[in-house]
Structure 1
Amino acid sequence: METIEISDGVVHLVEREVTKSITLEAFKDSLRATLGFKSPILPSNTIFYGQLEACRVYAIEQAPCVRTINYRPDKNRNSETFQYTIPLPWVYLIVTFHEFALESLHVYFRGQRVKIADDVLYVAPLPNIHGDGLVCLGDLRFEITSPMEERVEKLKRLFWDSVFNADILYSYDENMPEAIEERSGEDESFAGWERISTEEVCALPWTPYKTLSAIVGGCLNNQ
């Protein structure tokens, strides 16, 4: 399995070990010159890329920020939806495509920015996400001619703008840090999450899952 690792503006072309390192811009320029691409092959904020035959996996990084989450705690689709404005640590979206079709989206947290492929990612305790990070997306389609950048951006918007609901809650319930639960009291966990600062959220003891390289490898091998 060949992979591309991007760290601090440097691209590592890896086959079990780093064989060559060049700047990110030089890498993109080389791709354009050799293959005729008019835009970068990798979506914005891609830090890790893996390919195995027709399967492609992109690890997308999102810096800590504050987002407004739409949440409907009742499974009844006609029930009330609430909004919570919560701080998020570093977020890593692992996007898998098979040919032109979206295969899966996995989402993870991390208190610090990923530096190497063997850094551990942590469970993102949000509704609609399984314990292994797999997101329940429903039915999503792309135009077959859409650039990969456009597809990934659409996927990110869909995820964050969607209404999180009570269909899948076990990770949300079981992996929520104690500090958030304590501030929630009898309220919804999101209510306590709103009372956490961005600095605090990056220091919380999120539940460890697997290394970035192991997650990407699992997606490539459909595991």
Structure 2
Amino acid sequence: MGRAKIKKKSTFIDMTAMSDVTVLLLTFFMLTSTFVKKEPVQVSTPASVSEIKIPETNILQILVDPDGKVFMSLDKQSDLRDVLEAMGQEYGVTFTPEETKKFTLASTFGVPMKSMKKYLDLPQDQQDAVLKNEGIPTDSIDNQFKAWVRNARATNKDLRIAIKADANTPYSVIKNVMNSLQDLRENRYNLITSLKTTSEE
């Protein structure tokens, strides 16, 4: 007796549902993720066991590189605009609307006030190259760092200060930054560190 041949049917899997899930997941991650700010210098933060997270809004971040140059960033464009205007009034510098707009779009700033207008007139790629070689003056003769912090605090009372310094930054530089904050009676601030693993203990 001959065997009956069963016709093989082509298997078809509808991938529409899988595509929908993929698009939904991608959209979710894009909307909920926070982008890392572009920083003029790369710093390797010291390790600690603290797991306290820095708030995501109302942050004034102070970045200190291994050479002791100081940079700052604010997370709100309105704060950046108001602080630049206040600094301009204090140092006798008038900024055009175009220069103010360029400043508010920058993620990190850190040039002396006498060079600010010239810096803002540069194209973006040249700004990045100039910025990493500058830094906000913190010396006792012209401590513009204190002026930036004071005007930032006057603009936004809810600001939280966070210091991010390289592990190899000289202690004297960090102490100078902390002393400047103390002079302004800013005694509460966070230190940004990387989490120490058990193998590092």
TM-score normalised according to structure 1 size: 0.26
Greater per-residue helix proportion: 2
Higher RCO (CA < 8 A, seq sep 6+): 2
| Bigger CA radius of gyration | 2
Pick the structure with more strand per residue. Answer: 1
TM-score w.r.t. length of structure 2: 0.28
